[in-house]
Amino acid sequence: MAKRWRQLTVWLHILTSVGWMAQAMTLCVLLSVGLATDDAVVRDAATAMALRVDGRLVGPMADASAFTGIMLAAATPWGFFRHWWVLVKFGITVVQLYLGIFVLSRVLEDSVTAGPSAAQVVGTGLMASAIAFQGWLSVAKPWGTVRGRPRVAGGTGPKWVFVATVLGGLADLVLAFVVGHPLPLLSLVLLVVGLSRRPRWAGARATRPVRA
């Protein structure tokens, strides 16, 4: 059962990552339509829909994808800083979350009245491309281990970590869809709890890395 819940966590991470990428592509298309048209009605409708998609879909999917990815790194022998592909994925995720929350969302609010810009189209296209690149990293796992990191892999977290990740991630997704904007309450609590408890299992030797 522990293995089954770990697999469900991987499934939820893949599902939300693909959803995040698809919705970023949707934003790119909507903003492209608003930028290309001379019809004010079409432009306003496209930018208003982009703002709605960002709040109801992109934000929740991004939060859930980041949450499940961090929990998988924390609760499996891959860790955060042992392998270059995990470290690069983690860095890209942090940058994307920052840009999405503090830059893109605010700019989309302004574009409802001012109209979309070419920078917004390029930015959302790059967001989708970066997520696709992260998918490739998960499959190829290139570049080996980070120099200086211990060769012995850490342990795998207990069953409750994966159960809480799946149920908490799904609960926050449902809550976000209901209220109309991201509200990762359970995810943040579980991140704090999971990361604080990580040293208890991280020192256990794993027989082999678990695919994340």
Q: Strand, helix or coil at 154?
A: coil
The phi, psi pair for 145, rounded to 5°, reads -90, 155
CB atoms within 10 A of CB 107: 17
Q: What is the per-residue pLDDT for 113?
A: 82
* Alpha-carbon 39 to chain mean position: 35
The pLDDT-based confidence of 149 (bands split at 50, 70, 90) is low
Q: What is the per-residue pLDDT for 212?
A: 44
User: If we measure between CA atoms, which residue out of 28, 36, 174, 140 comes closest to residue 20?
Assistant: 28
| Pair 200, 157: CB distance under 8 Å | no
Q: What is the per-residue pLDDT for 42?
A: 92
The phi, psi pair for 83, rounded to 5°, reads -125, 140
Average pLDDT over residues 37-64: 91
Q: What is the per-residue pLDDT for 90?
A: 92
Q: Strand, helix or coil at 83?
A: strand
Better-predicted residue by pLDDT, 110 or 125: 125
User: If we measure between CA atoms, which residue out of 177, 184, 88 comes closest to residue 130?
Assistant: 88
- Ordered alpha helix ranges (H), the chain: 2-36, 40-53, 59-75, 84-99, 105-114, 118-140, 159-179, 185-202
**Which burial class, exposed, middle or buried, applies to 58 when counting CB atoms under 10 A from its CB (0-12, 13-18, 19+)?**
buried
Measure the CA–CA gap between 133 and 127, rounded to whole angstroms: 10
Lowest-confidence segment of 5-14, 34-43, 87-96, 105-114 by average pLDDT: 105-114
As a whole number, the mean pLDDT across the chain is: 87
Lowest-confidence segment of 15-29, 34-48, 147-161, 176-190 by average pLDDT: 147-161
The pLDDT-based confidence of 100 (bands split at 50, 70, 90) is confident
Better-predicted residue by pLDDT, 132 or 210: 132
Q: What is the per-residue pLDDT for 147?
A: 78
Does 205 score more than 70 pLDDT? no
Measure the CA–CA gap between 8 and 25, rounded to whole angstroms: 26
23-48 pLDDT, tens digit each: 999 999 999 999 999 999 999 999 99
CB atoms within 10 A of CB 104: 22
Does 62 score more than 70 pLDDT? yes
